[in-house]
Amino acid sequence: MSDVRIGTSGWNYPSGKGTWNGIFYPPAGRRPKGFDELAFYTQHFNTVEVNATFYGQPRAQVCRTWATRTPSDFEFAIKLYQKFTHPRVFRERVAAALPADARTERELVDTLARPNDADLDEFRRGIEPLAASGKLGALLAQFPPSFKNDPASRDYLAHLLRALGDYSVAVELRHQSWSDDLGNTLGLLNLFRAAWVQIDEPKFRFSIRQNYLPNVRGFYYMRLHGRNAATWWSHEQSEDRYNYLYSADELKEFSETAAAAKALVKKVRLYANNHFSAKSVANAAMIKQQLGQPIEGEYSPEFVARYPELAGIVHARALTPSRTFS
């Protein structure tokens, strides 16, 4: 039997309209002494996808605390730092940090923005505590829609996967040019035993098309971003695009896919990224129920009132203090 794990993308959403405080977690003013969000999360799910490492290189000290605050069988999926996957965004950041007279020096900006061996070494050092504790699952290389299938992109992706050959890597590609060239895309990913991330999100003209089939036997990786097409590109805050709750009928497609994939691969990982107001938590619990997995942990009455689809599925009671692990 495959190891099938369901979780969410991130666990800490303390601010904004879509905060988890007062929904999945107690409000800040009503938290028991010593309340630990991550430890509380692990009472409900046995895996989580880390978003924070996209915005900054992982730090060994932080990863070490994650390892000590979670059970021995817990697993982290770590998103790659944006310098490795979003060159245009990072190039703009580099240029903005330079003196005004240097911002037009394209060659200088490109050199500073290009990932190098030192960046890779820093990333490896940062995640080492998770690897040493056996809690490192996959690395997620999430590329933007602007990352198109062309010779330069294929060469870069091959270089990155070769450099990360000691890890399980899941690759999220979003532009349709990759699915239009299905054979060569699969050939490249399969060469490095990298899982092609299967994604659900609003579909636009150039969005990738996928069949949800696994491409390697090692592991299967799926992400659910929601289907809020109206605010996907036009929104006040980036969190607005993830303001979408899948219905039980919509989730059946993914739970059935996960159930089928577990007969073909060693590991199945499914993460809900529709994190606005903990909708991802609700949908992850619903998928677990559809897969016949135990629904663990306690949920507040406020959570069930907000998401009545969970009535009779989760345990609703006043929240108890979270515990730490050693």
Average pLDDT over residues 290-305: 94
Q: How many domains does the chain have?
A: 1
**8 A C-beta contact, residue 230 and residue 256:** no
Average pLDDT over residues 26-43: 92
The answer for 49, left when phi > 0, alpha when psi is -120 to 50, beta otherwise, is: beta
Mean pLDDT score of the chain: 92
Tell me, yes or no, whether 202 lies in a domain.
yes
**8 A C-beta contact, residue 258 and residue 222:** yes
Tell me, yes or no, whether 326 lies in a domain.
no
pLDDT at residue 111, rounded to an integer:
65
Top pLDDT among 253 and 95 is at: 253
Q: How many C-beta atoms lie closer than 10 Å to residue 39's C-beta?
A: 17
pLDDT tens digits for range 137-164: 999 999 999 999 999 999 999 999 999 9
Reported confidence tier of residue 124, pLDDT bands at 50, 70, 90: very high
Question: Looking at the predicted structure, is the pLDDT value of residue 320 above 60?
Answer: no
Q: Percent helix, strand, coil in the chain (nearest 5)? A: 40, 15, 40
Question: Looking at the predicted structure, is the pLDDT value of residue 114 above 90?
Answer: no
Reported confidence tier of residue 24, pLDDT bands at 50, 70, 90: very high
pLDDT at residue 89, rounded to an integer:
67
Range of the domain at 153: 3-316
Tell me, yes or no, whether 321 lies in a domain.
no
Question: Looking at the predicted structure, is the pLDDT value of residue 288 above 80?
Answer: yes
Tell me, yes or no, whether 157 lies in a domain.
yes
- Angstrom distance (rounded) from CA 317 to CA 27: 15
**8 A C-beta contact, residue 55 and residue 82:** yes
Tell me, yes or no, whether 323 lies in a domain.
no
**8 A C-beta contact, residue 283 and residue 251:** yes
- Angstrom distance (rounded) from CA 40 to CA 32: 12
Tell me, yes or no, whether 324 lies in a domain.
no
Q: Which helix (H) or strand (E) holds 187?
A: helix 182-191
Q: Specify the pTM.
A: 0.92
Question: Looking at the predicted structure, is the pLDDT value of residue 325 above 80?
Answer: no
How far is residue 36 CA from its own chain's centroid? 21
Question: Looking at the predicted structure, is the pLDDT value of residue 1 above 70?
Answer: no
**8 A C-beta contact, residue 224 and residue 270:** yes
Q: The domain spanning residue 197 has which CATH number?
A: 3.20.20.410
> Nearest-CA neighbor of 47 among 135, 167, 127, 168?
135
Reported confidence tier of residue 221, pLDDT bands at 50, 70, 90: very high
pLDDT at residue 324, rounded to an integer:
54
Edge-to-edge strands of the sheet including 267-272? 195-196, 168-172, 136-142, 75-79, 47-50, 3-9, 267-272, 219-224, 198-200
